[in-house]
Amino acid sequence: MRNRTARTARTVGLLVVVALAVTGCGGGDGAGDAVRPHDGAQRAREVADAWDGSEAAGIWRAGYHPMSDAVQPPADAFHSGADKLAYGSENFVLRGGLPRTAPKNAQVRWEEGGSLTLPLLSARSAYAAVARGGGDVGRPHLTVTGARLGAMTVTTSRGAATVPAWLFTLEGYATPLRRVALRPSPLPASPVGPIKNQPTELSPLGGLVKVAGGGRSVTVVATHGACDDGPVVKTLETRGSVVLYASVVGSKKGPCTSELRGGPVTVTLDRPLGDRVLLDAHTGRPVTDPSTLFWSGKRRKEEN
């Protein structure tokens, strides 16, 4: 998963923000908002029972939900430490024109069969999703000189798929940077509400980092405080879902700040994730890629 390595620090930081937002959220997604205090295994079972065979699970499986990074760097990346830093900080400078016209829709095509037609992102929107570092020429940056429409392979909740992608030409590189040209499908409303304002041993997950090892390895951001020994993530696997439940271990004596920290934790599954829904026991929601947060914000802005 070389394409994710340069962005790990930024991803972890973003996902801790997500966890803070989830922790402070007062509303639930559906029935079950009044949650009794549970230990982790009990809560995981409750979430699995609510999702398995539910309408929400059916909607999830019918949609396009990426489980890998939407960006793939050039095959010969990177030529220098400065270029690697620029990629990790998403600092790009545009010195060329981007296509103004493109098809209205495009298809996701899954390797195991099936397809889905979705609106195609413009080259400008895809570039905005890549270049979030401010375009500062005074610090390490990568220069984009043009773009064309192509394709790339990504991991999704329904397995590997070929999706349309904008191929951005980078100054000094022989192969392009690829960015998926689709937004993820909207997340279904959860059939179980989050844990809120009640004693619990669970911590919210920050989000998904990657799925690897043929679906047997899942890496997520797990959050914890400043005065413990770190996070532990356990799993409950069913036929229709994989519920992750995170908690912290140990405690440290002395003054303690209230900051929320996070870092990647990898769990190994008994069998490949496949099309099972990956869920967070604390929130009762699917564990998603951080790009979902970006596009959710874009949608809200466009609707207002």
| pLDDT at site 244 | 96
Structure confidence by residue, pLDDT tens digits, 84-131: 999 999 999 999 899 999 999 999 999 999 999 999 999 999 999 999
Percent of all residues in the chain with a pLDDT value above 70, rounded to a whole number: 75
Residue from 144, 158, 161, 2 nearest 72 by CA: 2
The token duo for 212 is 């690897």
Give the residue with greater pLDDT, 206 vs 122.
Answer: 122
Q: Which range among 30-44, 52-66, 240-254 has the greatest average pLDDT?
A: 52-66
Task: Spell out the domain ranges in the chain.
Answer: 2-63+188-303, 71-180
Of all residues in the chain, the percent with pLDDT exceeding 90 is 59
**pLDDT for position 236:** 97
> Do 106 and 118 touch, CB atoms closer than 8 A?
yes
Q: Tell whether the model's pLDDT for residue 138 goes beyond 60.
A: yes
pTM: 0.77
CATH fold of 71-180:
Lipocalin (2.40.128)
For the chain, where are the alpha helices, taking DSSP H only? Answer: 2-5, 8-23, 40-51, 55-62, 81-88, 123-130, 291-303
218-258 per-position pLDDT tens digit: 999 887 566 666 788 999 999 999 999 988 776 666 666 66
